[in-house]
Structure 1
């Protein structure tokens, strides 16, 4: 039969004891065997603890009126090469058993604890990547993981391979090293931010016992973040090429607002909400020039500032698309009171929520960049940067982008007629159109023709919108009635 008691060591080095429970007592224990950790990796300590547990177990069996002569007819204890047999039914031998166990315990040498194995940066990265892979978006993974790998490679070059060897001074030195390589302080901050996330994880799993060495290493203060970000959010030409690659663009943007809005923002510099809230009457022919009128006509419109109001000529690039055909279709089908995108519903964030969301998803699949660095707004910034590169006059750029313009009252009053005419010229449609048409975007706009006249396509979009609006109104009335 199996041995009633067995002491063994697991692969981890920890000792355990297994005790077999008599069938009559299984209803009490609910187990046929009981396994205890002896909580030691030292063989001598485990031996003494097992002896004590054996004795306590046998006493419990007797208290339960179990008389199993086959279990422990006697207990054998080995000590210094001699085997002692004890009959625990004899009070004298039980006392001797207790005395021997106590003497053995007194002679147990102090356990030798091996030094803990150092946790490597490579092991930490594997664990962090496994824990975060499904949590992070693809864009975040593509941004964070390479930065941490680059840091680990740098640490290895400095003979640092273990997690706890990384101290604040080393983190600061690495930040300074990256700062030499990178042109933008914001890029440096995004780099150290990724490594901070890595060490936050190591602290969480208790593999790093100190404060996060990459905490508070940012070069750009929060109060400066907006202004600095504005300087570094333009899309590079190769990024524009990927974003406006025809096949991928058509697969992603399957509604008119999603399709036309990025094209308008790229070529005319409109803000997200400016393009999303357009009404059909905001696009018209002004003496032979098609324009978009950015205004606040209507209770549902909102502009960022007073200077956001402006009338912009539609450049040749947009005329190569079928945007004006779409506009004519909406005007004819839904009338002059219609929105340009008649199926949109205004949310607490305006009309542009879905446009911004879908563009972000599109960007994440094509560009490796942090979420806060490049967004839909970057299309507008790209146009602004191109005008800067071309050294367009400041008044012209501000007129197109809807920025505040400060006039020099001296020049306006006492300046030459030529200077005054030149200043006013910066606001003329023809002047703006000429300069907008001169900017090259690297996109074949003639390929961008959206199929909005498919059977029932627009009808289904508008019907869906009306259903959602009706449901929203019903829920509002229901909530109002419940509160009264």
Structure 2
């Protein structure tokens, strides 16, 4: 049910929360209105015009176009007008309102009329949104979001939120398209606006522009911010909706799977496992068990365990480990090829040596855990020994894993569970239990690549 609808004894009401900066002018925490219907769809339709008009009044007041008294009168008229399909319903302020009238009273014009509050600026909205969401973000996600909003503030200026429209967002998108990739690394002391001016005066063909994927990420983050502003009553619509650039590639083509020849080149060129065992094992774990780069790099010795007679990776977010999504937490069998190559011997040797993790050469960073240094090494290895295709990276190992199982006729639900993807099927996803280790091992055992590996 929509958050703005209340169901009281089967009857629907619309709830409109008063933003904190307006409670002095509209002395209530929320307005509640009976919609005189027991049908959820009808209630949503009936609530829309009232919400739209009231949020418009909020915006007009914040922008200084109407006084506090005019805002109250406007809300009073909106709430007490008759709908076309139903008689005029009863209105009431929230019970904790400091000067709430009786249900049949109109909004009080006797409350003090204040000067319009300052308009909500983009910087204030960004700080509010980040503070509301930061506890739910990992360090890397927070850093990326804050980077996006810093870039937007630079290009849009500290504009009034109410002034942001589709034209402004389109203009922002057009600027992002021409900015170079790795903007902050290339120009650490300059603003995005200064870089934009520099490029316009003296374009450089050696600077590749920001990718469409990155531009769309910025627009998506702006859209999330605008949703927050709508919820707070600063906007009546989201100007960033539908403005992401359409990709010519299908989702399954955004990253390519490695071919059989690519996989052969990977296994043929893996370095010896003595000095830096992670450079030998982590690519094979990605290839044979589909663990993400970060999931492999952060493995502890206790994360490799025997479950119902099957050796498995316990992929979890305990301690300093992080996972991409909730569904990433899973059990993945260790592929028999890994065992035959001596992977369990490496695990045992690390335990005997008293090491808590499998790869003690890798060090934790707040921004991206244990995978940063290894990811950079693998990309160099990938370009030198495997392929120059920009759409092939470590993540391509997961694509190869999924594609191979799919072509072998494996069930989609099993593939999703092995890879840590959410199961979109309501029946099996919500009500079905997870597959047992033995069932997953049977599928894993059928995975066959036309590659040869050595125990070097």
Normalised by the shorter chain, which TM-score bucket?
Answer: 0.3 to 0.5
Q: Larger C-alpha radius of gyration, 1 or 2? A: 1
TM-score (norm 2): 0.44
More helix as a share of residues:
1
TM-score (norm 1): 0.42
